[in-house]
Amino acid sequence: DIQMTQSPSSLSASVGDRVTITCRASQSISNYLNWYQQKPGKAPKLLIYAASSLQSGVPSRFSGSGSGTDFTLTISSLQPEDFATYYCQQSYSTPRFTFGPGTKVDIK
C-alpha cells in the first residue's frame, strides 16, 4: 500500500506570508497527486490536481509542484480565508486512494 506523509503537521503563519507544505509518498506516484483544502465544519475543496494543475476557480496564489515521491503545495501570499487544513491525496493506485494526514495552517 502507498503511504502518504505530510510536513509539517501544523504551522502558524501571518497574512501575507509565503507558505509551503510538503507531501511525501512511500513509493513513486509520478504526478498522481492532488491537494485539498478543508475549513472547519466544511467539506474538502479541490485545489490542485495532477500535482500542479490548478482547479478552476482556485486563486492563483495556490500552486503545486513535484513528481515521483516528493510534492509541495505553496501559498504565495497567505490570505485570511486560507487558514484551514490541507490534505494531499494519491491516486496512483486507483481505484484505491490514500490521503495524507493533513497540515493545519493557523494564524500566528
Partner 1 sequence: QVQLVQSGSELKKPGASVKVSCKASGYTFSSYSINWVRQAPGQGLEWMGWINTNTGNPTYDQGFTGRFVFSSDTSVSTTYLQISSLKAEDSAVYYCARALTSSGVWYFDLWGRGTLVTVSS
Q: Which region holds residue 19: left if phi is over 0, alpha if psi is between -120 and 50, else beta?
A: beta
Angstrom distance (rounded) from CA 42 to CA 10? 19
Q: Does 65 bind partner 1 (CB under 8 A)?
A: no
Q: Does 87 bind partner 1 (CB under 8 A)?
A: yes
Q: Does 63 bind partner 1 (CB under 8 A)?
A: no
Judged by CB under 8 A, the residue of 19, 75, 89, 105 near partner 1 is 89
Q: Does 37 bind partner 1 (CB under 8 A)?
A: no
Instruction: Say if CB 17 and CB 77 are below 8 A apart.
Output: yes
Question: 15-31 burial, b for 16+ CB within 10 Å, e for fewer?
Answer: eeeebebbbbbeeebeb
**Nearest-approach distance from CB 18 to partner 1, in angstroms:** 25
Instruction: Say if CB 89 and CB 34 are below 8 A apart.
Output: yes
Q: Does 95 bind partner 1 (CB under 8 A)?
A: yes
Q: Does 50 bind partner 1 (CB under 8 A)?
A: yes
Residues that bind partner 1 (CB under 8 A): 31-32, 34, 36, 38, 42-46, 49-50, 53, 55, 87, 89, 91, 94-102
